[in-house]
Amino acid sequence: MTPKALVKQWIELFNQGHADSLAALYHDDAVNHQVTQDPVVGREAIREMFAREFAEADMTCIPEQILEDGEWAILEWKDPLGLRGCGFFHIQDDKIKFQRGYWDKLSFLRMHNLPIPQA
């Protein structure tokens, strides 16, 4: 499977809120680093992260562009509330080995009426 095809599958599962199926796309020792948070290491920890986040907010990923370069796919996305971001996926052996995402966490929290952490 090409990196682009895997990211398209990731988007489909993300939009369905399937934490278990989504986590199955990752290597056992994968890293998911959303730069607004600490890196999450390991498939099970990534599954738990998605399950927790799907329970907290109704999230939808609308792809604007998916680019591919070798083992990498780059996703530029938006959501129905106006949030925008991008993600970088390193794909090895048809699984996500590393993911990094960039988006505005403060805007996300406000849009979903979630608590804003105090410093």
CA distance 79 to 81: 5
**CATH at residue 76:** 3.10.450.50
pLDDT tens figures, 67-104: 999 999 999 999 998 889 999 999 999 999 999 999 87
What's the confidence (pLDDT) of residue 118?
A: 80
Contact 26, 46 (CB under 8 A): yes
Distance CA 19, CA 83 (A): 21
Domain count, the chain: 1
Residue 118 lies in a domain: no
Residue 85 lies in a domain: yes
* Position with higher pLDDT, 77 vs 106: 77
Question: Residue 53 domain-assigned?
Answer: yes
CA distance 100 to 32: 6
pLDDT in tens, 13-57: 999 999 999 999 999 999 999 998 899 999 999 999 999 999 998
Residue 27's domain spans which residues?
Answer: 3-111
> Residue 119 falls within a domain, yes or no?
no
Q: Considering the domain boundaries, does residue 29 fall inside one? A: yes
